[in-house]
Amino acid sequence: MKRELNTRLGDLQQQPKFIFFPSGLEIISRWETQKPDT
């Protein structure tokens, strides 16, 4: 279980747009601004 969680956490770090936390929303906006969906 822990390994799977760690793997998912790594994916979240690579793709901030999947973070739905309040502080993450700002990261999502900035990430999308720098790298729009292709």
The per-residue pLDDT for range 1-38, each reduced to its tens digit, is 566 665 666 665 565 555 555 555 566 666 565 655 55
C-alpha–C-alpha distance, residues 21 and 4, integer Å: 20
For residues 19 and 12, the answer to whether their CB atoms sit within 8 Å is yes
Looking at residue 10, its pLDDT comes to 63
Q: Indicate the DSSP class of residue 35.
A: S
Cβ neighbourhood burial of 19 (10 Å; 0-12, 13-18, 19+)? middle
Q: Indicate the DSSP class of residue 16.
A: G
Predicted TM-score (pTM) of this structure: 0.20
Looking at residue 23, its pLDDT comes to 58
